[in-house]
Each structure stands twice: as structure tokens, then as C-alpha cells.
Structure 1
């Protein structure tokens, strides 16, 4: 079974002390490639650095998460454009809107989002999108770029059936994480993931966040890591009513095509 983790925050400080072991465990559990998430100016540069040190296994995104939208200046835009000149950077983002926490003012979030969508237009690269509690504004901003954007994935999808269908109607891809395994917040996902076409479905851990709550035994440190992608695909396959080998092969093929990754 070969798996691709499309969203892992491997630049997070929690991975510094055992980074090589984390990668080894991921490989041992069938993860053949990963996309390291860039979510800030510094984080995007670090994601590229990590990817370049593990050519063919790790790739990177470069963008500014809405939490950090106030840092999206002209200088930041120039920095991101320079990062996107490197072939290891395979998508624009993580970018979008987050009204759940509002760590940046909403007007700043929308401006940073729009500038990164323009970056997507200019580079022709896929988009790695974030949306939380901002669906209407998110859709409105995306509509302003109708016909000009390449492929897009709404990563770490946690929304409603109506939101899912809105995204699928636009032809966008969906990233599913261990949120699926959360009996407090993710039960609705178990009912709707079967509606996602195989050619639009991808999987991710969002490590070190969102450790699947159904993993047994639960690690004492509560840190998620890419090795648990196998657990996520097993749960996802069960909810879709298909053999895990089918779900694994489909999500891997979809991710490889979406990010234009060579075979490992």
C-alpha cells in the first residue's frame, strides 16, 4: 500500500528532536511521499528547505495561512514568488479564510487570500486552501477568480454536506484528515465522504495536529505524525464502503496527478 500525505507541518518544532525517526516511521507505514505545508513567510521557506533535503520524498507548499494574514506585505509577496520558482514547491498556500479564531482581521485575511490567488494565476500552480467558519466570503473571493485558477484542494475539510457539494460543484478536490475519527466533531464526515468522487479525494494528517482519536493505543504525547495516515485511510475506506486498497490507490493517484509528483 502506497500513500501520499498531502499536508504535514513537518517544520513544526515538535518534530525537531526526532525528525529522521518520524520520516522512517512514515515510510514503514506505507507513506511514499509527503507535501510539507508552508503556512507563513518563515514557515514556507522552512518547508522548501526540508523538501530540498529529501528530494523525491518530500515536497512543499508556500503560502500564508489566514492566521498570519497581517504579515502579507509586498515584501512577503516577493518572497513567496521567489519560493515558487523552485520546482519542489508544488502548490500555493496554505491560504484562505478563518473566521473561527480571527487571529488576523477579516479584511486582512481577504486581502492576503486574494493576493495568493493571484499568485496561483501567475504561477499556474494548484491551490492548497483553508476555510473555517467563512464559507460565504470564501466562495465570493474564489468566484472573483473564476476561469483563471488551476486545480484547488480544500484541505482538512470539516464542513457541512452543503459546503462539500459547493466545492465539488466547482470541481475542487477535498482533503480528509483524522477529524474523521473524532466522535465529538467528525461524525457527520463519516456520512458524507462517500459522496466525494475518487478522482477528487486526497488524504492528509495535518501533523502534528489532529491525532486520530481512534488510534489505539493513543500515544502519551498526543502528537500526530505521518505514520498515522494509514489509520486515516483505513477509517475512510470503511466509511466509503470500499476495500482499503482501493481507497489507498485512488487517493495516491489523485494526489500524484494534482501536485504533479513523479513516481517515487
Structure 2
């Protein structure tokens, strides 16, 4: 049994695919889900995932920052992209009322359209939320009966928010934020109560490099990488009061259950 990183921004120019991918496999991170955040990056994610089907999958969607770009054309292209076997979720979608790069109304429209699409296609959702918890939960509740699950990507909230998401049958995505003893304290407390059957692990590379990770700038240029997922997992396991093997087994089972990934190969499979 190996590790899976459910959220990597391989379309970001800061990540040089070949060396980063090889370091991930060396670190026993055998499956990576590439995050799509708009149509262009979703297309790139699918194209890359198709080249390594045993190790890569993709999400397709429109991040709330890009909600002002959402149109009928966008919806049609997402439907077309979803025909690829590499696509395992709709997203990154959701609400971000912190920066409001798109207006709240634009975000609500784009998010609801993607929830409808996910229900229609029978795919889970890969969720983003910042300073919009109430509105996000209201929309998710509306579609809960027909939605095929989802994950709260890069969860940084408190135990009350976590429990509300769990009530909606969602998984919780844990990143290197859990390694931050100052900013991540609320999350660290919540993780102590996170059930093993609801945790998913991700790096959100090249972002959210874990605090306490040894300096390796000559290799990674200061970026986060999927190879560092075991570092995040170790901290999560400590907080949850379990051992690393148990967490590995649980997170892999959860990844397969939500995203319906049939096999996860160790090493490089052609």
C-alpha cells in the first residue's frame, strides 16, 4: 500500500513535472490527482493525467477566483472533458468571499452549476471554501441527496465546521497547514477528532510547504512537492493518535472509495 496525494497543481509553472514526479514515486507517493482550476488548466490536467494513467488522475472545474469566466461554453467544455477516464472529480469549485476576485453572485452561480454537473455525471466534488462557510454549506445541503460525495480541499477550519462537513458525508483534505504550530492550531485541534474513514491527504503543491520540513532549496526551489506528503501524514497521525501504517491504509481506502481509482501502482508503471 502506497500514498496518494489528492491535490497537486501540476499545471503551475513552478513544478517541473519529470523530476517532481520521479521524487514523488521515490517517496512512495504513487498516485497524484492534478487540480483543475479553470478550463485551460483543466485541459492541461487531463492531458497530463492521460499520459500516466496508473499514477495520475485529474479534477476539472472552475475555482471561485475564475467564476466571472463561467458561461454555457464553460459548462459544455467541462462536460466534454468529463468523458476522459482520467477525470475523477468536478472542481476545484466552491466559494471564496475573502478575496472576491469574482463577485459573490458570480461565485454562487458557477458553484451551483458545477454541483448540478457533478450530480448529473455521478462525480464527487473537489471543494474550495474561504470565509464563505455558511453559503457553501447551504448549497451543498441543497444537493446532498444526489451528490456523489466530495472532499473539502485544504481544510483549515475548526472542529464545528469539520463536523458539519462530515454530516454532509464529505471527506476532509489535510495539507501541510497541519504542521504549522501557530496558524494551524485550530486545524490541529480539529484533526484530533477526525475519523480515520474521512481523512484524505494532499500537499496542494507547490503551495503550503509544511513548516518544519528540512531545507532542500537546491532540489525543490523552496516549493512544496508531493514527495513531502509522508511528512504531512506523520504529523496528522501523531495528532490523531494512530500509527503511520494505519493512516496510510485508511487514506488510501478513502481515496479509492471517493474517486473510484481502480488501481494504484508502486513505482513507475508504463
Alignment TM-score, normalising by the size of structure 2: 0.94
SS at match of 1:118: helix
- Show the counterpart of 2:258: 258
Structure 2 distance, partners of 1:252, 1:64, is 26
Following TM superposition, by how much is the alpha carbon of 1:184 offset from its aligned partner in structure 2, in angstroms?
Answer: 2.6
Structure 2 distance, partners of 1:23, 1:218, is 16
Matched, 1:40 2:38: yes
Instruction: Please show how residues 13-92 of structure 1 align to structure 2 within 5 Å.
Output: 13-15=13-15, 18-92=16-90
Of 177-186 and 36-45, more deviation after overlay is shown by 177-186
Of 140-149 and 216-225, more deviation after overlay is shown by 216-225
Following TM superposition, by how much is the alpha carbon of 1:218 offset from its aligned partner in structure 2, in angstroms?
Answer: 5.2
Equivalenced residues, count? 262
Deviations 1:84-132 (A, max 9, x none): 0111101010100011111111100000000000001110011111111
Unaligned runs of 5+ in 1: none
- Show the counterpart of 2:186: 188
- Show the counterpart of 2:268: none
Unaligned runs of 5+ in 2: 266-270
Deviations 1:195-237 (A, max 9, x none): 2211111000000100001101353632111001010001111
- Across the aligned residues of Structure 1 and Structure 2, the Cα RMSD in angstroms comes to 1.1
The list of structure 1 runs, each at least 4 consecutive aligned residues, that deviate by more than 4 angstroms after superposition, is none
Following TM superposition, by how much is the alpha carbon of 1:54 offset from its aligned partner in structure 2, in angstroms?
Answer: 1.1
Following TM superposition, by how much is the alpha carbon of 1:144 offset from its aligned partner in structure 2, in angstroms?
Answer: 2.0
Deviations 1:152-174 (A, max 9, x none): 11110001111101001111110
Structure 1 distance, partners of 2:195, 2:150, is 15
Structure 1 distance, partners of 2:187, 2:129, is 16
Structure 2 distance, partners of 1:123, 1:218, is 42
SS at match of 1:168: helix
Matched, 1:197 2:195: yes
Structure 1 distance, partners of 2:217, 2:234, is 19
